[in-house]
A and B are shown apart, each in its own frame.
Chain A
Amino acid sequence: MNTARFTPGQKVRIAARTPPLHHRVPSYVKGRTGFIERVCGRHAEPERAIAGDLDARRQLYRVRIPQHELWASYDGASGDQLELEVFEHWLEAAQ
């Protein structure tokens, strides 16, 4: 229960869904792939909190996505990356 499913360096895909309530995943990263940068530990998660489950904790990860993959017109340095934190139930292993 306390072990993280993903490890740093692993490639993951962010789910392309839109639950009809506040969630911590902006639409511009949905369906995109990135890499686990670090495991951030277990944290309170808003989708469960709204349902009244305030004690629930979910595994959180920092995910890196290359900027040029996110934005077709990105003209910054080729190594630039976006980092954002995503809960485990939004992630699946990717090839």
Chain B
Amino acid sequence: MSESEKIQPWGPHDVGGQAGGPVNMTEHDTAYWEWQIDAMLRLAMQKGVLSDFAELRDGIERLNAEDYENLSYYERWARSLAAALVAKGVVTEQALSGKVAAIRARQAASE
């Protein structure tokens, strides 16, 4: 393969061979909301909404590079799962953004 035929990466995860900087090795506990995302994913798979972990990964790899970089592990899961639920008509984009706005308002009020 010549240099002119360089393969384009598929998605923001496809960075093998690039300098990545230091790896954060600190241990951390799984937060309750992260277990909830995990549970929701397994429920979605059990009900056949998502076929397989491959489909979750596919959604994660469709995040733009900036989001992929900034989101944590389970935040990426949440974004992929939410996109799949909207794409398959389980929830509407409108219902989802309405719920997010309501939660933000509730959090702001309690601060």
Residues of chain B within 8 A (CB-CB) of A30 are 7
A-facing residues in B2-22 (Cβ within 8 Å):
5, 7-10, 14, 16-17
Question: What number of A-B contacts does a CB cutoff of 8 Å give?
Answer: 50
Chain B residues with a Cβ closer than 8 Å to the other chain, count: 16
A sample of 9 inter-chain contacts (CB < 8 A) reads A16-B5, A16-B7, A18-B8, A22-B61, A28-B16, A31-B1, A32-B1, A47-B54, A54-B52
Residues of chain B within 8 A (CB-CB) of A28 are 7, 16-17
CB distance from A7 to the nearest CB of B (A): 25
Interface residue ranges, A against B (CB under 8 Å) = 16, 18, 20-23, 26-28, 30-32, 44, 46-47, 49-50, 52, 54, 70-71
Considering only CB atoms, which chain B residue lies closest to A48 in the complex?
Answer: B54
Interface residue ranges, B against A (CB under 8 Å) = 1, 5, 7-10, 14, 16-17, 51-52, 54-55, 57-58, 61
Contacting pair B51 A54 (CB below 8 A):
yes
Contacting pair B51 A49 (CB below 8 A):
yes
